Amino acid sequence: MVDELGARFASAGHEIALVGGPVRDILLGRGSKDLDFATSARPEAVEKLLAGWADHVWDIGKAFGTIGCRKGEWVLEITTYRSESYDRTSRKPEVEYGDNLEGDLARRDFAMNAMAVRLPSHEFVDPYGGRADVANKMIRTPGSPEDSFSDDPLRMMRAARFAAQLDFTPDPAVVAAMTTMAERITIVSAERVRDELIKLICAPHPRIGLDLLVSTGLADHVLPELPALRLEDDEHHRHKDVYQHSLTVLDQAIDLEDRLDDVETPDFVVRFAALIHDIGKPRTRKFEGDGKVTFHHHDVVGAKLARKRMKALRFSNEQIEQVSKLVELHLRFHGYGTGEWTDSAVRRYVRDAGELLSRLHVLTRADSTTRNKRKAEALRSAYDDLEKRIEQLREQEKLDAIRPDLDGNQIME
């Protein structure tokens, strides 16, 4: 398939090469049906060349030089060579077409993403040592990280995202540049930051990416509520570090994700809610006279903070409502087990959770971790009990629906 495409472009006098993510992923031993190509042909010529060959051709962003097509089970994105130039002051990178592959690779974010295979010759092009980086699990920029990140500060977020996806380590020079240039992320549009954040959170190792965001100071500009969770212990060292706790809850939520049979996983909503479920704590913390620490209504305050932050990051209304509602409901279960919940209390729990019930189960279970194993076990079994009662009530309601105990008058009515 790929060689056919190469021959087609070559016979029209154009260059084409497999580039970026797919080349990196092949070296990592993970192939995919989604392939990216770079070509010397302009978008109009690309469209014409694909028209007689692909099953379906569409415009992904002709203005930016990208045409998409499907050929059998393969989905291809073909982008005209771009040159290095970015407008440093603009919020969106500017597009300028280039005329060679090397120039196109030079403007890419990381060496591991700046590899290509020319077609149809199969010549492997790796000007910045991307293959070695993949072997060493390293994230390095083609040129100096400072220049690269001034060209497009979003690349700092991308470094954290790839670290989380691939379990790679950014080069110390990359981390240093992220640290000194963190503030520059503020010139990038919220939508672009949001999209990288979603990919990071939904990655196999979000903790790695989040720790990078926090330690470099990027999080101070992107999600300041997260570093704010690093609460110093109180004078009695009684309170656990809420930041570490939040990462643990996120890890647990990921482990429990297969219980979410009604949503596609990885699920951003439950993961993000797990990460920020306690963001109301720093604002509500009070040291009581007797050495006790309280966080009055931190669930309500946290839900409000979540809503505000997610709005600023231009998340969809649905995502905002879902995450903030989970934050608001995550403490409800705390009353369970101590006092008896009546059937109507259980029903209210189900009704308030609505479509979020399975996510609330995961979040609450994930949050039932304490340093004390016995206590954690007790919480887990209390939650098992709650889920069982929900199930029983459901069965009961089904029966009631089949044989409603109405009297004759009610039936006539």
Q: Does 15 bind ligand ATP (CB under 6 A)?
A: no
Q: Does 113 bind ligand ATP (CB under 6 A)?
A: yes
| 155 touches, from ligand ATP, Mg ion, none (C-beta below 5 to 8 Å by class) | ligand ATP
Q: Does 64 bind Mg ion (CB under 5 A)?
A: no
Per DSSP, the residues of 317-346 read: HHHHHHHHHHHHHTTGGGGBTTBPPPHHHH
The site string for Mg ion over 21-60 (x = CB under 5 A, - otherwise) reads x---------------------------------------
Q: What is the CA radius of gyration of the chain?
A: 26
Q: Hey, how many other C-beta atoms are within 10 angstroms of the C-beta on 4?
A: 12
Interacting stretch for ligand ATP, rule CB under 6 A, among 152-160, 310-318, 349-357, 396-404? 152-160
Q: Are 57 and 69 in contact (CB under 8 A)?
A: yes
Q: Give me the amino acid identity at 304.
A: K
Q: Site for ligand ATP (CB under 6 A): which residue of 82, 108, 325, 359?
A: 108
| 115 touches, from ligand ATP, Mg ion, none (C-beta below 5 to 8 Å by class) | none
Q: How many residues does the chain have?
A: 413
Q: Does 155 bind ligand ATP (CB under 6 A)?
A: yes
Q: Does 143 bind Mg ion (CB under 5 A)?
A: no
Q: Site for ligand ATP (CB under 6 A): which residue of 2, 8, 10, 21?
A: 21
Shortest Cβ 21–ligand ATP spacing (Å): 3
Partners of 285 in the beta sheet? 295
Q: Does 65 bind ligand ATP (CB under 6 A)?
A: no
Shortest Cβ 113–ligand ATP spacing (Å): 3
Interacting stretch for ligand ATP, rule CB under 6 A, among 107-115, 332-340, 350-358, 386-394? 107-115
Pick 93 or 282: Cβ nearer Mg ion: 93
Shortest Cβ 108–ligand ATP spacing (Å): 4
Kindly tell me the sign of the dihedral angle through the C-alpha atoms of 39, 40, 44, 48.
negative
Neighbour-count burial of 402, counting CB atoms closer than 10 A to its CB (0-12 exposed, 13-18 middle, 19+ buried): exposed
CA distance 288 to 297: 15
Between residue 230 and residue 259, which ones bind Mg ion under the rule CB under 5 A?
none
Q: Does 217 bind Mg ion (CB under 5 A)?
A: no
* CA 240 remoteness from chain centre: 26
Angle, CA 145 vertex, CA 92 and CA 212 arms, to 5°: 85
CA distance 219 to 206: 14
CA distance 343 to 369: 26
Peptide bond into 120 cis (omega under 30): yes
| CA atoms in the 13 A half-sphere facing the CB of 211 | 13
Pick 26 or 378: Cβ nearer ligand ATP: 26
CA distance 412 to 225: 59
Q: Does 152 bind ligand ATP (CB under 6 A)?
A: yes
Pick 194 or 199: Cβ nearer ligand ATP: 199
Question: Which residue minimizes CB distance to ligand ATP?
Answer: 21
Closest to 174 (Cα-Cα) out of 164, 189, 159, 162: 159
Q: Are 342 and 393 in contact (CB under 8 A)?
A: no
| 113 touches, from Mg ion, ligand ATP, none (C-beta below 5 to 8 Å by class) | ligand ATP
Question: Which residue minimizes CB distance to Mg ion?
Answer: 21
Q: Does 154 bind ligand ATP (CB under 6 A)?
A: yes
Q: Site for ligand ATP (CB under 6 A): which residue of 6, 20, 68, 282?
A: 20
Which residues form the interface with ligand ATP (CB under 6 A)? 20-21, 36, 108-109, 113, 152, 154-155, 199
